[in-house]
Amino acid sequence: MNIWLLAVVIMLIAFIMTMTGRGGGNFYVLTLVFSGIGMNLSASTGQFILMCSSLMAAILFSKQKMNHWKLTILLGIFIFISAMAGGFFGHCFNEKVLKVIFAVVMFIAALLMLCKPKKKMKADYKWVVSLTSNGDTFDVNLLVTVPIVLLAGFLSGMVGVSGGSFLVPLMLLTMNVPMHIAVGVSTFLVSMSAAAGFFGHWEAGIFDFSMAIPLALGGVLGGFAGAKMALKSKPKNLKYLFAGTQLLASVIMIFNVIY
């Protein structure tokens, strides 16, 4: 496929994915793989595109106060370290194994998004941290959050998907974070996760700048437009869009592995 035509496809993906706080790393990888690029190179290129597009969206979301910096820093420290490790060790797995992991991650995330959030937890335990933003209180259970974030970061870095695939469901289901705030926090963390995963792949020598730059340009343009649209969208619509795109990604990848 022509590189500029591929960039247009990436731009459209970034537009839709940025609205949900996922960035689109999984669909970038799918697109690159189906265009004939190897899984490991697709993963590293997808992380680079994701890093650029998510950073653009994160800046816009932060200006509109669609973020919570204490929560972002808390989750960001763990996901950055684990994503870098995942990116570095990704080449140690064969492509078929990576595709299976990819599909399972996407399917689980989609199912989680269709679940109803649990009732708020009382912050009366030493491992529960209570955070407040614009009058809303989020109770973060560290015993639940930290292991899931570490796993999400490692898998996102290894497979080339966005950490938002797990981060948004995590914030909605275990912390009762409003959808718009979850999207803003996730977008910033996705940019960090993508950067860590990208540098991990780069250190392993798996990257092609001549291919990645045009695709990243498309991602940045799509990310900008998607962030603008998210600011105008209803939380419920963003939630269903997230779940729908996750299910689609998992089904496509499973089909690809089987056939």
- In whole angstroms, give the CA distance from residue 189 to residue 22: 10
Domain range spanning residue 197?
3-258
Rg of the chain, C-alpha, whole Å:
17
- Specify the number of domains making up the chain: 1
Identify whether the C-beta of residue 96 lies closer than 8 Å to the C-beta of residue 104. no
Mapped onto helix, strand or coil, the DSSP state of residue 141 is strand
Q: Is 28 exposed, middle or buried (0-12, 13-18, 19+ CB in 10 A)?
A: buried
User: pLDDT of the chain along its 259 residues, tens only?
Assistant: 689 999 999 999 999 888 888 777 778 888 898 888 888 888 889 889 989 998 988 888 888 878 888 888 888 888 778 878 887 887 777 767 776 776 777 787 778 777 765 555 555 567 787 777 666 677 778 888 888 888 877 877 777 666 677 778 778 777 778 888 888 888 888 887 788 778 877 887 878 888 999 999 999 999 999 999 988 888 788 888 888 877 887 787 777 677 6
For residue 31, what are its two tokens? 């697109």
Confidence (pTM): 0.75
Longest dimension (CA), the chain: 57
